[in-house]
Amino acid sequence: AQKVTQAQTEISVVEKEDVTLDCVYETRDTTYYLFWYKQPPSGELVFLIRRNSFDEQNEISGRYSWNFQKSTSSFNFTITASQVVDSAVYFCALSEWGAQKLVFGQGTRLTINP
């Protein structure tokens, strides 16, 4: 069965610090997709990234970067030089090939203090 664990319930840092959000997943499938979504205080859910299980290249998008390591079943998300606007709840999610279900982690509430 597919499972996603985000062990960090809440993180609080000062602006401009780097911060890493952890995501550990469980799956018996060899083909699967991993996602990150952001939920700002306004409540909507915003897609950030998708990664398939055959692509272990790290991804960088501006201040955001993602580290996918199949050996440790992790898909961690790093924000460099954090800003107050990065304050949100971040969700990691997993979809196994053929499962037709997307499973979310519990979410990490990130607070960036000025």
Partner 1 sequence: NAGVTQTPKFQVLKTGQSMTLQCAQDMNHEYMSWYRQDPGMGLRLIHYSVGAGITDQGEVPNGYNVSRSTTEDFPLRLLSAAPSQTSVYFCASSYGTYNEQFFGPGTRLTVL
Least separation in angstroms between CB 24 and partner 1: 14
Look up tokens 């950030």; give the residue: 48
Q: Which helix (H) or strand (E) holds 37?
A: strand 32-39
Q: Please count the other Cβ atoms lying within 10 Å of the Cβ belonging to residue 73.
A: 17
Backbone dihedral angles phi then psi of residue 36, each to the nearest 5 degrees: -125, 135
Q: Per-residue x/- marks for partner 1, 7-46, CB under 8 A? A: --x-----------------------x-x-x-----xxx-
Q: Which is nearer to partner 1, 11 or 99 (CB)?
A: 99
Q: Which is nearer to partner 1, 13 or 48 (CB)?
A: 48
Q: What's the token pair of residue 65?
A: 């970067």
Look up tokens 């991993």; give the residue: 34
Look up tokens 């993602």; give the residue: 66
Look up tokens 């960090």; give the residue: 8
Q: Per-residue x/- marks for partner 1, 41-80, CB under 8 A? A: --xxx-x--x-x----------------------------
Q: Which residues bind partner 1 (CB under 8 A)?
A: 4, 6, 9, 33, 35, 37, 43-45, 47, 50, 52, 91, 93, 95, 97, 99-107
